[in-house]
Structure 1
Amino acid sequence: MPRVSFSPPTLFLPLLERLLPSLPPTLPDMDVPPLFRQQFILSGYRPVDLSWRCYVLSLFQLHNETLSVWSPLLAAVYMLTRFLMFAVLQGGGILGVRLQGPEGQGFSVDASSLPLVLYVFSAVTYLSCSAAVHLLRSEQTHHSLFYLEYVGVAVYQYGCALALCLYSSDTAWTQSMLGQIFLPVAAVASWLSCVVCCYAELHFHRPYPRLRRICQVVPMGVAYLLVINPVTHHLASHSWMNTSTPHLHFLQVALLLLSVFFFSCPVPECFSPGRYDIIGHSHQLFHVLLSFCTLVQQEALFDDFLWRRQVLIREFGEERLLLACASFLGLTLCCVMTALAMKRTHVQLLKEGR
């Protein structure tokens, strides 16, 4: 009686090995270039300059950046899925689909929901860029990915400003001097944070001085304090017993401040170098807290949107809303051009050996 073999055909083994190559083990800090070493993190580094396929597969490998990749990646997937569910179940035509007489369904632009769409787009963009930076860590793409991340952060900052200004502000704040100039000032602040962070990436090299971290934290912090102003005014002037939205806004502010702390201070790994290499070091905690902050912020904006949507066009005017949304595209273009200019300068300096 012939035997039946369940072993894979040898013809497919070379193809399988090319598609799913075995990943090399992680390395100690002394076996990777200084560019990739993190203070007080002694092990768990991936070899540099692997193929793109290996870096993508390292998503399922345990190394010192696994949590920094998965936290923004899962947050981006959840945000997009949650937004689509909200648009279908509660948005009531948030994507602009309307019944137009006997011709059936048609597409129309709903100006009141466009800022929310742009906010979700900006949040998913920055989370995706953050995941890509920590997943694809080759020497050739290191600086380019960081420039991309700074663009994503600046775009997200202005996406927040746009949504919070239109959905989370009250009439007193809207009619104040800051409310009248808020969006142009927020656009400039977001662009400047992109410029300063890109300059810090271009100018400072490992071992990074403390000034580099200051150049990253200060402009982003100033931009965020400005962006969150409609929320702080709302928290200071309204009762917390009316809705759950103030509690969500307060929680997202607390999570953001806590994430900034872990971004600025190497805690807890500074107390026990090597112990928190794989799970628990400060940069991982920063990404986890920031991801939760973004998810909480989205839920707060959903509630604010449902409450404010009906009167938004009457209060702001459709032309003003469309112009505000167009300014989002203008800021995105400015940030992309800034990052490309910095990248071009970086390449030129490398050619000159500086």
Structure 2
Amino acid sequence: MESPESQEREDGIRLRKKVQENQEDVESSDCEDDAKTDLVKRIIESTKELTDCMPTDLPSAKRMLEDGLHAAAEFSSDMAAGAGAVAEQAGDICRKVIEASWKVCHFQALPHWLQDNDYLIWGHRPPLPSFTACFQSLFRIHTETGNIWTHLIGCVAFVSLAVYTLIWSELQSEERLVFAAFFAGAILCLGLSCTYHTVHCHSEFVGKLFSKLDYVGISFLIMGSLVPWLYYTFYCQYQPKVIYLTVATVLGFGAIITSMVDRFGEPKYRPFRAGIFIAFGLSGAIPAIHYAVMEGWVNAVSYASLGWLILMGSLYILGALLYAGRIPECYFPGKCDIWFQSHQIFHVLVIAAAFVHYQGISEMAVYRLTNNQCPASTEATLA
């Protein structure tokens, strides 16, 4: 059986270990206030002195030590909370100053992650680490003003058109779903594009994230545009309709996956980005040729709105080429900083192409509503 003295000695050893552990915890706390740090250090030094005399007066030393450690822990917690509150207040003040006082700047004054088009020399927004400031910039004049408002107006227009078409038209349930796919693609594309151009100056992380979502929106627009056209073009041919719709979906999600790769968003890959979406859009040429060969060019133009499809594709391709070549600002550096830059023209052509496509599929829908008859052989195949 152990003697009282040996028991006290073991208790003292265990208490010293506990003190050392608490000392390490206290010393590792992040404290920016020198006066409070010195106070904590004095408490630690006093606890060290107590541990030296522990075997002689263990109960009183233990009580004093516990009181000291408890006080040190409270000081550490208070200091951490105080430092966090000060940092939060400082951040709020900085955000308010930025929101109220930012000015447009030169291209060379931008951080590298905002330097996208070096032909736009002046009028850029600086980094705005506040979503409030980003959205307030909607009402300021800068290089992104045209990009934001072209697709914002287009998005509102297609929301209104979708409500009218899907609620008050004479479309059947299945056809409403087909038109809904088109409207969903158009609204997602225009909405995500508008949001990207509004907030991409917030931070590098936010800019990259919404840049990817912008390309995702383009993929959804192309997929949504192909769905109603393929549905009505091969209205009486079930097998090719399913095959082409499946291929369009697979290509669309392939483009979405590619869009999510970080390197894809770098300025040097601008031509590659344009090429991906041009190739995806041109994939609709294969079913168009198929239908024209099968039914004849006259029927393709009359019943499959091939003329509208060609016009839509031409507008998309023209916009993508201007975007990739940075035309016209590459010929007039500094002259298109605010208006008439390639990206704005691209936006306008995208909206025009979407309205052209809506006109085409609307004509196809009217034809099917008034001539909802398929050849007998086709009906047998469908049955």
TM-score by length of 1: 0.69
8 Å CA contact retained: 2:107, 2:120: yes
Distance 1:83 1:269 in 2: 35
- The Cα shift of 1:232 comes to 5.6
1:186 corresponds in structure 2 to 248
Distance 2:254 2:305 in 1: 30
8 Å CA contact retained: 1:169, 1:230: no
8 Å CA contact retained: 1:196, 1:216: no
Q: How does 1:315-354 map to 2 (within 5 A)?
A: none
Distance 1:239 1:291 in 2: 27
Distance 2:265 2:187 in 1: 29
Moved more, 300-309 or 125-134: 300-309
1:215 corresponds in structure 2 to 272
1:166 corresponds in structure 2 to 231
**Equivalent of residue 346 in structure 2, options 277, 286, 293:** 286
Please identify the structure whose Cα radius of gyration is greater: 2
- The Cα shift of 1:36 comes to 1.3
2:156 corresponds in structure 1 to 77
Distance 1:122 1:188 in 2: 15
Does the alignment pair 1:251 with 2:311? yes
8 Å CA contact retained: 1:68, 1:288: no
Q: How does 1:1-354 map to 2 (within 5 A)?
A: 22=100, 24-37=102-115, 38-89=117-168, 91-92=169-170, 110-137=173-200, 138-139=202-203, 140-169=205-234, 174=237, 179-199=241-261, 202-203=262-263, 208-209=267-268, 212-231=269-288, 237-238=297-298, 242=302, 245-309=305-369
8 Å CA contact retained: 2:196, 2:210: yes
User: Cα–Cα, structure 1 residues 226 and 84, in superposed 2: closer, same or farther, change >3 Å?
Assistant: same
Q: Say which SS state the counterpart of residue 25 (structure 1) adopts.
A: coil
TM-score by length of 2: 0.64
Structure 2, unaligned runs of 5 or more = 1-95
Number of matched pairs: 277
Moved more, 133-142 or 150-159: 150-159
Distance 2:317 2:289 in 1: 14
Distance 2:133 2:243 in 1: 48
Higher relative contact order (CA 8 A, sep 6+): 1
Distance 1:168 1:28 in 2: 51
Q: Say which SS state the counterpart of residue 69 (structure 1) adopts.
A: helix
8 Å CA contact retained: 1:245, 1:300: yes
Structure 1, unaligned runs of 5 or more = 1-17, 95-109, 321-354
- Provide the aligned C-alpha RMSD in A: 3.2
